[in-house]
Amino acid sequence: MKNWKLLGCMLFIAPLIAQAQTFPNKPIRMVVPYAAGGAVDVLGRPVAQRMSELLGQPVIVDNRPGANATLGTDNVARSPADGYTIVLTSIVHYLVPYFSKNVPYDTFKDFTPISSIAITPNILAVHPSLGVSNMKEFIEYARKNPEKLFYGTTGVGSTHHLSGILLAQMANINIEHLPYKGGNPTITDAIGGQIPMVILTSPTILPYSKSGKLKALAIIEGKRSKTLPDLPTIGETVPGYAIPDLWFGVLGPAGMNKALVDKLNSSVRQAVNTPEVKQKLEAFGFEVTGTANADEFAGSLKGDMDVFKKIIVTANIKPE
């Protein structure tokens, strides 16, 4: 009986092993559910190029923005679980259902975590005309001018949106959220003075803070960034304030077999840790984190979501 069971397992596993050994034998599509030129797109292109070299097949970046990133992501959820369609997304993927009733998939059940790639520091920055140079001065200004402060972000349900809510709660200030459809239009209005402040990724803000068009005040995460060691955290002024790292990673459709997942995980990790790719990503302001296997990546997700759930519940946010 044991031999028959062993034979049955081998007959079941053999096709999966063979599939992984021949994978890939055609191009892989990496869906980026955001517009070209944004932080996710900038991250994905050098990684996809290096993966193409490692796997011997093109890894094609397919930008499919829209519907708070659910349009492109839904395309992946509905694709075959054969490894040829993957999505490059961020922690925001798991936040969307808390703000929208119309998400066409289950963010956990309909996807297979494959690999983390990088994190990026996120910065609270203000227009120079606001006349503040640090978080202490900013909070004082906000308390004196409770009707004047709007903060721009990449959209409702983003980590930037939630970080502003948490800051308002913990610093006892009134700042109103102004959602945009991506980083580019947000930063355009910020440097033009149409909005007084933004919370965005460091790759989006840094070119303008270096040129003096914006004043970077603080990092929203719990520790200073390795790439920006001189920029303090908000928590250094508002004790206890911290937002989980904004990670970027690769997911596939639900039901992918482990051999395929491991092969893709390995290629992603090799790609992001290639010296020229890592250097390029760090120049954009990313911190490469491609060291975890797929199981470790999946296991880290719950802790991040627990923090965000607390902010959402405290703010009494309901999906619309």
Q: How far is CA 127 from CA 92, 94, 155, in A?
A: 26, 31, 19
Choice among 4-13, 220-229, 291-300 with the minimum mean pLDDT? 4-13
Tell me the pLDDT band of 10, cut-offs 50, 70 and 90. low
**Closest CA relative to residue 43, chosen from 152, 125, 116:** 116
* Torsion, Cα of 54, 59, 61, 62 (10° steps): -160
Q: Are 249 and 113 in contact (CB under 8 A)?
A: yes
Q: Is the pLDDT of residue 14 over 50?
A: no
Q: Is the pLDDT of residue 208 over 90?
A: yes
Q: Is the pLDDT of residue 285 over 90?
A: no
Q: In this predicted model, which residue has the larger pLDDT, 182 or 72?
A: 72
- Please report how the helices 159-171 and 301-314 are oriented relative to each other, as an axis angle in degrees rounded to 10: 50
List every span in the chain annotated with CATH 3.40.190.150.
Answer: 26-117+245-314
Q: How far is CA 222 from CA 18, 21, 122, 198, 236, in A?
A: 45, 42, 11, 18, 9
Q: In this predicted model, which residue has the larger pLDDT, 7 or 99?
A: 99
Give the residue-averaged pLDDT of 8-26: 65
Q: So what's the pLDDT on residue 3?
A: 56
List every span in the chain annotated with CATH 3.40.190.10.
Answer: 122-236
**Closest CA relative to residue 141, chosen from 174, 177, 189, 176:** 174
Q: Is the pLDDT of residue 315 over 90?
A: no
Encode 65-92: b = buried (16+ Cβ within 10 Å), e = exposed.
bebbbbebbbbbbebebbbbbbbbbbbb
Topology (CATH) of 122-236? D-Maltodextrin-Binding Protein; domain 2 (3.40.190)
**CB within 8 A of 181, min separation 6: which ones?**
154, 155
> Could you report the per-residue pLDDT of 237-274, keeping only the tens digit for each?
999 999 988 899 999 999 999 999 999 999 999 999 99
Q: So what's the pLDDT on residue 11?
A: 56
- The helix (H) or strand (E) run that includes residue 10 is helix 2-22
> Could you report the per-residue pLDDT of 125-150, keeping only the tens digit for each?
999 999 999 999 999 999 999 888 99
Choice among 16-20, 119-123, 165-169 with the minimum mean pLDDT? 16-20
> Could you report the per-residue pLDDT of 64-95, keeping only the tens digit for each?
998 878 999 999 999 999 999 999 999 989 99
Q: So what's the pLDDT on residue 235?
A: 97
Percent above pLDDT 90 for the chain: 68
Q: So what's the pLDDT on residue 19?
A: 54
Q: So what's the pLDDT on residue 270?
A: 97
**31 SS3 class:** strand
Exposed / middle / buried, residue 102 (Cβ in 10 Å: 0-12, 13-18, 19+): exposed
Q: Are 76 and 86 in contact (CB under 8 A)?
A: yes
| 13 Rama class: left (phi>0) / alpha (psi -120 to 50) / beta | alpha
Taking domain 26-117+245-314, whether its CATH number is 3.40.50.2000 is answered by no
**1 SS3 class:** coil
**Distance (Å, whole) CA 61 – CA 59:** 7
Q: So what's the pLDDT on residue 290?
A: 81
**Distance (Å, whole) CA 259 – CA 299:** 18
Give the residue-averaged pLDDT of 176-181: 90
Q: Order the strands of the 197-201 sheet from edge to edge.
A: 176-179, 150-153, 197-201, 122-126, 215-219
Q: So what's the pLDDT on residue 297?
A: 92
